[in-house]
Amino acid sequence: MLLKVLLGLLCGVTASVAGGDEAQQGPLPLLMVSFDGFRADYLQRFPMPNLKLLYSQGVLVEQLTNVFITKTFPNHYTLVTGLYAESHGIVASNMYDPVSHKHFHAGQDQDPMWWSKAQPLWITALDSGYKTAAMMWPGSDVLISSRTPTHFLPYDFNVTFRQRIGNVTKWLLGNEKEPGVKFAALYWEEPDRSGHKYGPENTAVMTKVLKEVDDNIGLLVSKLKYNGLWGRINVIITSDHGMAQLSTERLIRLDDCIHPDDYTLVDSSPVAALIPHKDPKTLFTLLRTCHAHMTAYLKSDIPDRLHYRNNERIQPIILVADEGWSIVQRGNTLSRMGDHGYDNTLPSMHPFMAAAGPSFREGYRISNLKSVDIYPLMCHLLSVPPQPNNGSLSQARCLLAAEACGDLTLVISLVLGILLVLATIILLFRWRRNYRQSRSQPFQRLQVDDDEEPLFE
């Protein structure tokens, strides 16, 4: 506790010193890139020389604890809001809103009502007078608080990475008429697409796919260097979730337990959302014992740690499959070899984060960070007042060059450790002296008595 307070004080002091410089020049631009479905352990399993070079000059968070459910849209909105899914409102890829009676399907919907419970950084930063850009990031082409980022392109699968980064670089540079953007977010579909199709354990295919991802990171760095931006920009490379291997033997068939006419399936696997047509308790009783590898929750009993309860778009019954298991209905079979959405404590669901640029430390790594903490980190880097969020800067600030918390922790621990040892030694000495005095006094008196006794005899 004391350590935390001291650390906070020291961090605060270094931060305000650094803040003075930044205020004069304005913050550096920030580019966040997400490679969808980049499971944290791909970094150990595949070579990725460009990515490794990038974080050897910057920082690496080996695993990000993302939010439940570990799906693309919920987690991409978390990265730019710092909110759990229940608070930002994008609670799944397929949703039903009982208030408006509307349905949502990821990628096919631009209705602002789904996104309006939160405000992404590309909107908030506009209020600080900055230009912003978002390239195909989920939500970037939607009017949120009646606004979009200054620049964006509507989602188009056919636009190559080279074209996306080409446009983003243009937006970062600006021109005579318009200054460059301060914040840009860029989305890329791989390795998620191939992870689903072939499964993360298909080493031959994933080797090829991750080489392409790494080539894109190389392209990004050389594009920034060519345009004189590298070294004058902070870059975060991250992802939304990992990927688990599926198998045709690991199927949970809902039809074995409940009749398909008795409920509506809003979202299916690996987290199913059900609206019962009759009494929820009856359906729940059948589902609770349906399959050893599936956990059924009534909405009110969803564990606190999942932060997945407090939203009307979360349906009355939620089914969560164990890692690698799929929930199917109406005799459907498996059409994919990899999936995500499972419990966010599973390492296979975790993505990573790497970052480089003048504001980050060099060659520093930490094992874990929460993905909700990235939003306050980005606000800090941009000097943008954060919206209310579920993240904190306390851990993330140690990634920053101006903070050097890791070293401070060591120094302070050493100093405190030495103080503690000294205090213990002093106390021991005092205690021993007191103990000796109190024990030796009767003897002294006895001796005196002894001495005196002969006088009496």
**Catalytic amino acids?**
72
Told to check if 388 binds ligand NAG by CB under 6 A, we report: yes
The partner in contact with residue 113, picked from Zn ion, ligand NAG, none with C-beta cut-offs of 5 to 8 angstroms by kind, is none
CA distances from 438 to 424, 427, 429, 434, 447 (A): 21, 16, 14, 6, 15
**C-alpha angle 361/364/369, rounded to 5°?**
100
**Which class for 204: exposed (0-12), middle (13-18), buried (19 or more C-beta within 10 A)?**
exposed
- Near ligand NAG in 143-202, by CB under 6 A: 153, 159, 163, 166-167, 170
What are the beta bridge partners of residue 360? 400
Enter the DSSP assignment of 136: S
Told to check if 87 binds ligand NAG by CB under 6 A, we report: yes
- Output the smallest distance, CB 161 to ligand NAG, in A: 10
User: Long-range pairs for 416-423 at CB < 8 Å and ≥24 separation?
Assistant: 416/2, 416/3
- Near ligand NAG in 317-376, by CB under 6 A: none
Of 84 and 115, which has the nearer Cβ to ligand NAG?
A: 84
Position among 238, 239, 348, 390 found at the interface with ligand NAG (CB under 6 A): 390
Residue 110: count of CB within 10 angstroms of its CB: 13
**C-alpha angle 335/307/375, rounded to 5°?**
90
> Which x/- pattern, by CB under 6 A, does the window 242-281 give for ligand NAG?
----------------------------------------
The partner in contact with residue 153, picked from ligand NAG, Zn ion, none with C-beta cut-offs of 5 to 8 angstroms by kind, is ligand NAG
- Output the smallest distance, CB 106 to Zn ion, in A: 10
CA 187 to chain centre: 16
Given the rule CB under 6 A, which of 7-15, 173-181, 385-393, 448-456 is the region that contacts ligand NAG?
385-393
- Near Zn ion in 419-438, by CB under 5 A: none
CA distance 39 to 32: 17
Told to check if 373 binds Zn ion by CB under 5 A, we report: no
Of 73 and 263, which has the nearer Cβ to Zn ion?
A: 73
> Which x/- pattern, by CB under 6 A, does the window 282-321 give for ligand NAG?
-------------------------x--------------
**Which class for 280: exposed (0-12), middle (13-18), buried (19 or more C-beta within 10 A)?**
middle
The partner in contact with residue 192, picked from ligand NAG, Zn ion, none with C-beta cut-offs of 5 to 8 angstroms by kind, is Zn ion
- Give the H/E segment covering residue 438: helix 405-456
Of 84 and 96, which has the nearer Cβ to ligand NAG?
A: 84
CA distance 386 to 374: 11
> Which x/- pattern, by CB under 5 A, does the window 167-196 give for Zn ion?
-------------------------x----
- Near ligand NAG in 392-431, by CB under 6 A: none
CA-based nearest residue to 401, from 33, 57, 153, 105:
57
Give the chain's radius of gyration (CA, Å).
29
Binding site for ligand NAG (CB under 6 A): 83-84, 87, 153, 159, 163, 166-167, 170, 307, 388-390
Binding site for Zn ion (CB under 5 A): 192
